[in-house]
A and B are shown apart, each in its own frame.
Chain A
Amino acid sequence: MREYELVAGLETHVELSTKTKIFCGCTTAFGSEPNTHCCPICIGLPGTMPKLNRQAVRYAIMAGLATNCEINPIAKMDRKNYVYPDLPKAYQISQYDRPLCSNGYIQLQNGRKIRILRIHIEEDAGKLVHERGDTYVDYNRGGVPLIEIVTEPDIRSIDEAIEYVEKLQLIMRYIGVSDVKMQEGSLRCDVNISVRPKGAEQLGIRAEIKNMNSFAFMQKAMQYEFERQTDLLESGEQVVQETRRYNTDTGETEPMRGKEDAHDYRYFREPDLVTIETAPQEVEQIKAALPELPDAKFARYTEAYGLSETDANILIKYRRVAEFFDAAAKLVQTPKTVSNLIITQIFRRLSTEEQKEAFEIVVTPQTLAELIALRESGKINNNLLKSTLEQMLDTGKPVAALIDEKDLGGVDEATLREICRQVVAENPAAVQDYRGGKEAAFKALIGGVMKATRGKANALQATEILKSLL
């Protein structure tokens, strides 16, 4: 059997977090009674006029800039005609040949760039509910602003597809234009997938799998589709260009309809909406207001703070965690300590992704930094640092309330010198090892001092005294 290569391109729909719909003032709030967030504009009654939401345009431009796109100085809206009950006007107002953003990319960890062909804005459709053979429509979602992010067919594996979507999700969360929750449908993926013999130049015929609403389904659907198309080509058959859906019960993809080409939609300019012009100064202003993005944070954490790539990746994965880390890292000499405490100790209390995402803890970056400063100045040791942090996480009390003056450098120099003499006297083996060149033996001696002082000794001072005695 020949080896085959997977080729995929993604179309990702992201629901924008505007307060109102794209063409009317109805709320975009999720999860209300059906058809209560509707007006004559969003249910498509004749004679109504759409009016474009400024914030939706701004969010789309932010998304474009955050994914390295060019912002087109002139964009327009078009009608995409198709008949389906979730679309009350029988056309969707979208963008065809003049989208807001073009020619961007997202870079993967392996260095490959997944090119973004375009990002356009459009209105979401309503929701169909099927019950006992009948169909009902709820138009609350109809008219909610979406951006559609279309890649070139640059993806070469399922892992790359998933990494791309995860990264896109992270970027959208950082810039705050969407809550990108796959399970609530605020991020939905269509995957265009084809296969070709490894090394071939020409692309194979593609099938589109609609509406992947979880990473697990996306993974399974792509795997199934890759195998299905490979089997077809191996047996000398052709892949049919069509739209397929993933059946979660059978674990298979099945045909939905023939894949439309653009001309099937009879696109034409939306006559009720005027041109969108974006001046270069406006683009610059929006760009300047963007927060630091995940790639830039990663570079800063690994280069300026010397964190490992693994640790940096964990921190940037959650926007609030990264913000907390940044705030605390600024206040201490050893940012790595902040990172370690977050990843090991604090994350132990936040088991789910949602909890890490929300990062609701009672400790502030300031109080954590105060605690770390005590460690850095040698006033407390690692054990006391950890146990105090546990208490802080439990009670929310400030450092001062948990560590009193007695604990801080409570051992005066004379006492410390005496304790050090005792430790040296009681550990002849370690002393001999150290003198024989075993650096590690010194740790046992320091440990002895710490034990004798119940962790209150200043480690730097103890080290000095011990070394003078040896």
Chain B
Amino acid sequence: MVTREEILDIALLAKLSVDEEKLDELTKQMMDIIAFADTINAYEGQTGEFDNINGLSNVFREDTVVASYPREQILKNVDGGENGFFPVKKKM
């Protein structure tokens, strides 16, 4: 069971604004999604066979060095970093 309040909580965490008139529809959709997961859970482990989801295997790259990115680019998202490092915010 999913409540309208839980949908509002999730929306808040996801930083989404939800219209009041959409709330019932979203609550129902969330319940459907969880019910689907339950269906999968009920099935899981019954065959014991490994399910190779997409049928693909052994996609590899060779062990050949490719140039790394310039450090300025690597540190771009942390305002250039500090002395070449990523600084970590205190109290993670």
Residues of chain A at the chain B interface (Cβ within 8 Å): 18-20, 24-27, 33-40, 43, 51-57, 74, 83-85, 98, 128-129, 133-139, 269, 273-277
Contact = CB atoms under 8 A, between A and B. Distances in A.
A38 B68 contact: yes
A54 B63 contact: yes
Given A98-B50, A129-B85, A52 B68 contact: no
B68 A51 contact: no
B63 A53 contact: yes
Contacts of A83: 92
Interface string B66-90: 1011010011000001111111101
B41 interface: no
Contact of B63 (A55, A133, A136): A55
Contacts of B82: 136
Contact of A24 (B54, B66, B71): B66
Contact of B66 (A25, A133, A269, A277): A25
Contacts of B50: 74, 98, 275
Interface of B: 50, 52-54, 56-66, 68-69, 71, 74-75, 81-88, 90, 92
A129 B81 CA distance: 14
10 contacts: A20-B63, A26-B68, A35-B85, A54-B60, A54-B62, A54-B63, A84-B92, A134-B87, A269-B53, A275-B57
Contacts of A37: 68
A20 B65 contact: yes
A277 B57 CA distance: 6
B87 to A, nearest CB: 6
Contacts of B61: 25, 51-54
A277 B52 CA distance: 10
Which of B53, B65, B85 counts the most A-chain CB atoms under 10 A from its CB? B85
Contacts of B74: 35, 38-39, 43, 139
Complex A-B, nearest 9 residue pairs according to Cβ-Cβ distance, in ascending order: A25-B66, A136-B85, A54-B60, A55-B63, A135-B88, A275-B57, A274-B56, A137-B86, A277-B57
Nearest to A278: B58
B83 A25 contact: no
Contacts of B52: 74, 275
Contacts of B81: 35
A341 B61 CA distance: 47
Contacts of B83: 34, 136
A128 B88 contact: yes
Contacts of B87: 134-136
B66 A20 contact: yes
A228 B54 CA distance: 51
Contacts of A25: 61, 64-66
Nearest to B63: A55
Contacts of B68: 26-27, 36-39
Contacts of B59: 51-52, 273-274
Contacts of B63: 18-20, 53-56
Given A38-B74, A39-B68, A136-B86, 9 more contacts: A19-B64, A20-B65, A25-B61, A25-B65, A51-B60, A51-B61, A275-B52, A275-B57, A277-B57
B4 to A, nearest CB: 27
Contacts of B66: 20, 24-26, 39
Contacts of B90: 133-135
Contacts of B62: 54-55
Contacts of B85: 34-35, 129, 136-138
A133 B84 CA distance: 18
Which of B57, B74, B83, B92 counts the most A-chain CB atoms under 10 A from its CB? B74
Given A18-B63, A38-B68, A43-B74, A274 B54 contact: yes
Which of A18, A25, A27 counts the most B-chain CB atoms under 10 A from its CB? A25
Nearest to A53: B63
Contact of A57 (B53, B60, B71, B88): B60
